[in-house]
Structure 1
Amino acid sequence: MDSLQAVKERYAADTFPRSLGIELLELAPGYARVAMTLTENMANFHGIGHGGAIFTLADTALGLASNSHGDPAVALSVTINYLSPARVGTKLVATAEEEHLTRRTGVYRLTVTTSTGENIALARGTVYRQAKKRVPEQSS
């Protein structure tokens, strides 16, 4: 099985983003695009999209993009800037694009927009890439 298909299967079994209605739209090496519609239970006390919900959407895109090469990757750091409020009922789209990749780290640009293209948040994520576990050679 190729690494993209493996990531898609692992994502399909990931209950947290599914519980928020996050759907995978696109996956390619070093790239992912996901979407969710903000519901009332994702609003803060100001009545706008909760930063945690928006962050989770961006983080989900980061996880998918950074694992798309087949090596396990985990976030080391993610910083986010919220640019505009998002309203309940708005469909948000998060895109993760790889900017730099080494054997052990990766840096990704994350954008969250409305489905009509309004910028909601910008983020940058750095991941640590683990080496694939290798099966030990059998001695005879």
Structure 2
Amino acid sequence: MTDDVDAAREHIRADPFCGTLGIDFATIEPGYAETTLTVTEDVVNFNGKLHGAVIFALADAAAAAATQADGQTVVGIETNTSFLSAAEPGDTLIATARIIHESSQLNGTRVVVEKEDGTQIAMFRVRGYRIE
């Protein structure tokens, strides 16, 4: 592991927005990442379910970590999210991101968001653009 890769991982883990939401970076490797979140009352909507924006943020953080763990800067240019099930306070979610396609400047990443028991909460796909 190079110093650049170590610095990139520490930079990702220090993301203030993720810290505010309670998102933890469990695993960060080039092309793969896992983020986790335990749902609290602070992030539910008026129906008592986890807010969709938080699910999106959890998946987006995993995708960003997977695509930038090598120290390169990648920005999202297109996303698609399918919400499959609800989450409630007390649930712990795991977002698993894998790069599924990569070229010199574009990549495609798929993220699966699940409860600890394996119940799928969302599927997230993002196309990223690598900045030289």
What TM-score range do you get, normalising by the shorter chain? over 0.9
**For structure 1, which runs of at least 5 residues remain unmatched after alignment?**
132-140
CA RMSD of aligned residues (A): 1.1
Q: Which amino acid aligns with 1:93?
A: I
**For structure 2, which runs of at least 5 residues remain unmatched after alignment?**
none
Q: Do the aligned partners of 2:8 and 2:70 also contact (CA within 8 Å) in 1? A: no
Q: Do the aligned partners of 1:29 and 1:68 also contact (CA within 8 Å) in 2? A: yes
- Offset, 1:103: 0.9
Q: Which amino acid aligns with 2:18?
A: P
Secondary structure at 2:8's aligned position in 1? helix
Q: Which amino acid aligns with 2:19?
A: R
Task: Name the counterpart of 1:21.
Answer: 22
Q: Which amino acid aligns with 2:105?
A: R
Normalization by structure 1: what TM-score? 0.89
Larger Rg: 1
Secondary structure at 1:64's aligned position in 2? helix
- Offset, 1:4: 3.3
Distance 1:64 1:2 in 2: 16
- Offset, 1:2: 3.8
Q: Do the aligned partners of 2:35 and 2:94 also contact (CA within 8 Å) in 1? A: yes
Normalization by structure 2: what TM-score? 0.94
**Length, aligned pairs only:** 131
Q: Do the aligned partners of 1:33 and 1:96 also contact (CA within 8 Å) in 2? A: yes
The percent of aligned pairs where both chains have the same amino acid is: 36
Aligned structure 1 segments of 4 or more residues deviating by more than 6 angstroms = none
Secondary structure at 1:66's aligned position in 2? helix
- Offset, 1:3: 4.2
**1:40-119 counterparts in 2 under 5 A?**
40-119=41-120
Distance 2:31 2:85 in 1: 26
Bigger drift between 66-75 and 90-99 goes to 66-75
Q: Do the aligned partners of 1:4 and 1:27 also contact (CA within 8 Å) in 2? A: no
Q: Do the aligned partners of 1:4 and 1:28 also contact (CA within 8 Å) in 2? A: no
- Offset, 1:28: 1.4
